[in-house]
């Protein structure tokens, strides 16, 4: 009799084990692990090395601070649109191409901290139309580790009223700086096909009237 009870007990233990292994809860545990594994395959890709150029509308906005010159600067004019770009659209298009190539060169030699492209302001005291004129040039480094390798393209000018404010508040010899905010080119826009926006910078304390 004892042996018979033992056999019956073993039968029920085996039956319970079989039922547990076949239960829905046990089956649901397997897809969960597969889901975690598939999440790795669907992670978003890393950022492109070209810093998110928009080729559809020929537009580029560098990350804040990337083109700000080294040293201490104050903002004289924030988000300033330049003028005369429409007559130099080929220069703006070429500048965008040079920026892309400069970024790729800098990435290749791991020199992202270098100021390897940007904009610079250039006074034109001999300008026959306005001796206070301030030209805006785009620059890039052919060698991202050699500042002497810089090349330039003339993009346009600061508006005459802004150039006049610079002359009145900063003086003719004050050091000027600029930071590229963005470029947008739309050849189909007859009224305003090119927009170049910059921050105009001056050295701290140079602004006489604030």
Distance (Å) of CA 159 to CA 28, 68, 163: 68, 21, 6
What does the pLDDT look like over 36-69, one tens digit per residue? 222 222 333 344 444 555 655 588 999 888 899 9
User: pLDDT at position 205, please?
Assistant: 86
Q: In angstroms, what CA-CA distances link 25 with 17, 33, 46, 108? A: 14, 14, 37, 52
pLDDT of residue 48: 44
Report, as ranges of residue numbers, the positions in the chain whose pLDDT lies below 70: 1-57, 111-114, 209-210
Q: Does the reported pTM lie above 0.75?
A: no
148-168 burial, b at 16+ Cβ within 10 Å, e below that, comes to: eebeebbbbbbbeebbebbee
Structure tokens at 92: 């703006």
Rounded CA-CA distance 11/194 in Å is 85
pLDDT given for residue 34 in this prediction:
27
């Amino acid at each position: 009799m004892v042996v018979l009870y033992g056999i019956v007990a073993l039968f029920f233990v085996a039956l319970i084990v079989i039922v547990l292994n076949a239960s829905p809860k046990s089956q649901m545990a397997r897809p969960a692990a597969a889901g975690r594994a598939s999440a790795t395959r669907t992670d978003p890709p890393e950022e492109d090395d070209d810093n998110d150029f928009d080729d559809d509308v020929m537009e580029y906005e560098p990350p804040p601070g990337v083109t700000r010159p080294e040293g201490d600067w104050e903002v004289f004019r924030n988000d300033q649109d330049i003028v005369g770009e429409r007559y130099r659209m080929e220069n703006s298009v070429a500048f965008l191409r040079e920026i892309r190539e400069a970024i790729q060169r800098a990435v290749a030699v791991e020199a992202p901290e270098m100021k390897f492209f940007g904009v610079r302001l250039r006074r034109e005291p001999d300008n026959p139309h306005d001796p206070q004129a301030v030209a805006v040039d785009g620059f890039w480094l052919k060698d991202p580790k050699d500042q002497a390798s810089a090349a330039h393209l003339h993009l346009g000018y600061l508006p005459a009223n802004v150039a006049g404010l610079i002359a009145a508040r900063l003086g003719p010899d004050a050091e000027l700086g600029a930071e590229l905010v963005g470029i947008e080119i739309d050849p189909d826009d007859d009224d305003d096909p090119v927009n170049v926006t910059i921050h105009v910078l001056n050295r701290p304390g140079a602004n006489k009237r604030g």
